[in-house]
Amino acid sequence: MDDWYIVQIGPTPQVNIGSYMLVIDGLVNNPLNLTYSELTSMPTTTIIDTLQCVSVPYFLKAVVKWTGVPLKYVLNAAGVQSGATKVILYGADGYTSDLPLWKAMEDDTLIAFMADGQPLLTTHGYPVRLVVPRWWGYKYVKWLVKITVTNENYLGYWESRGYPDVARKNGD
């Protein structure tokens, strides 16, 4: 992990694991406030995926073995309401991104807490980050603290600056 590239909008936040909470709110029937322990005790999936920067894709990339909870597992536990179309993802550093609900519900979209068999490093999103296989790295929100389910056409940090909202690599 020390060799991975790092792109972020500000300083690296220091998230206190003792008080960490992942909030799931918005258009859900059962809003959740999950501790790190609660999150890591949920069913997990391990995948191999390439984290890749859209700006310099041939040099800024890392092939990673991610372990985490499928985002759809958490969203199903919260009970997504009909009419929801998107999830907004918030990092502890103020960064935001968004996903269409259909992408958030794919089996391999993860709330990851391990990379290559080790807990995430602080510089790479500890305690948890989003993993969005087959999409560009700006969708992989680090230091994930909140997920809001919505029916609004919200655009995240890079998306509001002209980056594609549906951020497929290679037409996937």
- The kind and range of the H/E element at 38 are helix 36-40
Instruction: Please give the model's pTM, rounded to 2 decimal places.
Output: 0.90
% residues pLDDT > 70 (the chain): 91
Q: What's the CA gap between 36 and 21, in Å, rounded?
A: 7
Is the predicted pLDDT of residue 158 greater than 60, yes or no?
Answer: yes
* Residue range 5-46, pLDDT digits in tens: 566 677 888 899 999 999 999 999 999 999 999 999 999 999
Q: What's the CA gap between 161 and 136, in Å, rounded?
A: 15
Is the predicted pLDDT of residue 61 greater than 80, yes or no?
Answer: no
Q: What's the CA gap between 103 and 107, in Å, rounded?
A: 9
Q: What's the CA gap between 168 and 132, in Å, rounded?
A: 10
**∠ CA 88-108-60 to the nearest 5 degrees?**
75
* Residue range 37-47, pLDDT digits in tens: 999 999 999 99
Q: What's the CA gap between 100 and 120, in Å, rounded?
A: 25
For residue 167, give Cα distances in angstroms to 24, 97, 163. 23, 11, 8
What is the mean predicted confidence (pLDDT) over 127-146? 94
Dihedral angle over CA of 86, 92, 94, 98, nearest 10: -20
% residues pLDDT > 90 (the chain): 70
What is the mean predicted confidence (pLDDT) over 152-164? 90
pLDDT at 5: 56
